[in-house]
Amino acid sequence: MPAESLATNGARTRTEFGRQPLETRAPLIELAGVEKVYRMGKVDYRALRGVDLSIAAGEMVAVVGPSGSGKSTILNMITGIDRPSAGTVVFDGKRLDEMSEEDLAVWRGGNVGIIFQFFQLLPTLSALENAVLPLDFARQGSKRERFERARHNLELVGLGDKGDHLPSELSGGEQQRVAIARSLAADPRLIVGDEPTGNLDTVTAAEMFELLERLNGEGKTILFVTHDRELAARASRMIEIRDGRVVDG
């Protein structure tokens, strides 16, 4: 993804990306009848209660709802971090719920970038070294190629001159930008954020969201959980979860 294309796509809206409008494209992600039950001692906790959900490629989708409603559990289903107790999870025609743990790990490494609320950067590694980690784990390309790609991703998020800085030498917003650069390592089709702006002040959160919007404008499918309804309203679509069910969206 050329650096200049990320910066100059303002004339193209999210719904204009590609050849088809979002509403006419085949779903990238489909959940059908998804249930998730956790065993807690002698009690079963039903986190999801028959969720049906479809997300098209290129959408930016916000998931909202009260604490304990099942928002993060849905993200875990879609990213293959957890498995449904019932129902199916399909990504671009592949049944994630039928894949082995090893196959899921390989699939996730090539298709999903994850952004966490608390950055999850390794404190003893530089920004560049953190950004290259997923490529090192996947052993994609030579060491030189991996570092070149990581440098490119840091430039995309505006930190091309901070590659040698440790996380402790960066602001919260800069650390989250490193986390976004890391999520882009394998050029994933889907970027998932679990409260990606929740640990940032209002101004910095807005800057982070603008960066996600620009990535979405380049065709990335963005799915994020947030408690901030004003932020969620800026997504192309908002899904509300209550008591393990989709009640709106």
The string of pLDDT tens digits covering residues 83-107 is 999 999 999 999 999 999 999 988 9
Model pLDDT, residue 13 = 39
**What is the phi/psi pair of residue 17, to 5°?**
-65, 140
Model pLDDT, residue 18 = 43
| Domains observed in the chain | 3-248 (3.40.50.300)
* pTM, rounded to two decimals: 0.82
pLDDT band at 17 (very low <50, low <70, confident <90, very high): very low
- Strand order, beta sheet including 190-194: 112-116, 190-194, 221-225, 60-64, 237-242, 245-248
pLDDT band at 5 (very low <50, low <70, confident <90, very high): very low
The string of pLDDT tens digits covering residues 124-140 is 999 999 999 988 887 77
**Rounded Cα distance, 122 and 118, in Å:** 11
Model pLDDT, residue 41 = 86
**Rounded Cα distance, 130 and 120, in Å:** 10
Which residues are registered as beta bridge partners of 43? 40
pLDDT at 82 over 70: yes
